[in-house]
């Protein structure tokens, strides 16, 4: 591997001459390497490895680094559906000239001296931006995934969020590390907003260590299935068998897929609310209204 390629990778795959502390000799070497195609010249004084992610390069042409929703996948976090993931979120220092303005980009100006200037913003900054720009249910889903997929703890998240905007702080207060999917997180928050609290990932008396996605009261179970989940017939058969077992021992099981939750959230909430209004979500509740 080329020495300059290795140098750039030590800086996250993309860096400015200032960040590289490039001497005149190294600057000429970088320019020659870019001409040969060994590395990329992204903009004046900024170079990247050849396989740098396209969104990172797009952010650099604007003058900054990925942040918010656009940076989530780089940390292995849950990414909201379209249209929220369509816009390119770029964090740019006030002192930097924006070289390229894009219709599909949203520039977040900052007076802080960002480091690194290009590439991907630090996780804490990414979460703050995402939680500030997304609707609350989606913001909570992102924060849940951070607690699930990164070393960040709930206490650390709450401490970090003390400097966030009010809406983002409110989302952080609802984050729960027990949640196992974005769909589950979104539905949990939508239910809470409808006045229906739920418990994520409750243990079940099935003898197979299986957990449901959400429990309302003590007998209404909500399962949230991903697109990939539905692709396997064997998985569907196993789910149907488990649902039948749970029903036979007194539970009510409602199962919703990703598309239903995001395309018809009002309908989903209405169906669940109807069960709760009858009192069927608790063991001692009546099954019919008087």
146-168 pLDDT per residue, tens: 999 999 999 999 999 999 999 99
pLDDT at 192: 98
Query: Which stretches in the chain have pLDDT values below 70?
Result: 1, 95-102, 227-231, 285-290
In this prediction, residue 222 carries a pLDDT of 97
Percentage of residues in the chain having pLDDT higher than 90: 61
pTM: 0.87
Please list the residues that pair with 116 across neighbouring strands.
Answer: none
pLDDT confidence of residue 101? 66
What's the mean per-residue pLDDT of the chain?
89
Other C-beta atoms lying within 10 Å of the C-beta of residue 147? 18
Give the phi and the psi of residue 157 in degrees, each rounded to 5. Answer: -65, -45
Q: Which residues pair with 63 in a beta bridge?
A: none
Q: Measured between alpha carbons, how far is 271 from 277 in angstroms, rounded to an integer? A: 10
Domain residue ranges of the chain, discontinuous segments joined by +: 3-52, 57-174, 182-278
CATH domain 182-278 topology:
Endonuclease; Chain A (3.40.960)
């Amino acid at each position: 591997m080329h020495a300059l390629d290795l140098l750039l990778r030590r800086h996250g795959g993309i860096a400015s001459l200032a960040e590289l502390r490039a001497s005149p000799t190294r600057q000429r070497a970088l320019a020659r390497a870019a001409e040969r195609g060994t590395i990329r010249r992204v903009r004046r004084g900024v170079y990247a490895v050849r396989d740098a992610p396209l969104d990172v390069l797009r952010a650099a042409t604007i003058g900054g680094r990925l942040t918010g929703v656009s940076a989530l996948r780089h940390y292995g976090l849950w990414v909201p559906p379209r249209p929220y993931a369509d816009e390119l979120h770029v964090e740019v220092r006030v002192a930097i000239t924006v070289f390229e303005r894009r219709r599909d980009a949203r520039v977040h100006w900052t007076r802080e001296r960002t480091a690194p200037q290009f590439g991907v913003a630090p996780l804490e900054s990414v979460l703050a931006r995402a939680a500030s720009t997304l609707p609350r249910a989606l913001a909570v889903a992102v924060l849940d995934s951070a607690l699930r997929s990164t070393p960040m703890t709930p206490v650390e998240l709450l401490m970090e969020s003390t400097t966030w905007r009010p809406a983002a702080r409110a989302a952080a207060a609802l984050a729960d590390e027990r949640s196992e999917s974005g769909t589950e997180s979104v539905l949990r928050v939508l239910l809470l907003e409808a006045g229906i609290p739920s418990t994520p990932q409750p243990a079940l008396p099935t003898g197979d260590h299986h957990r449901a996605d959400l429990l309302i009261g003590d007998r209404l179970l909500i399962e949230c299935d991903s697109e990939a989940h539905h692709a396997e017939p064997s998985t569907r058969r196993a789910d149907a068998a488990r649902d039948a077992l749970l029903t036979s021992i007194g539970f009510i099981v409602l199962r919703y897929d990703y598309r239903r939750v995001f395309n018809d959230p009002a309908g989903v909430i209405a169906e669940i609310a109807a069960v709760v209004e009858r009192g069927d979500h608790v063991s001692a509740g009546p099954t019919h209204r008087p």
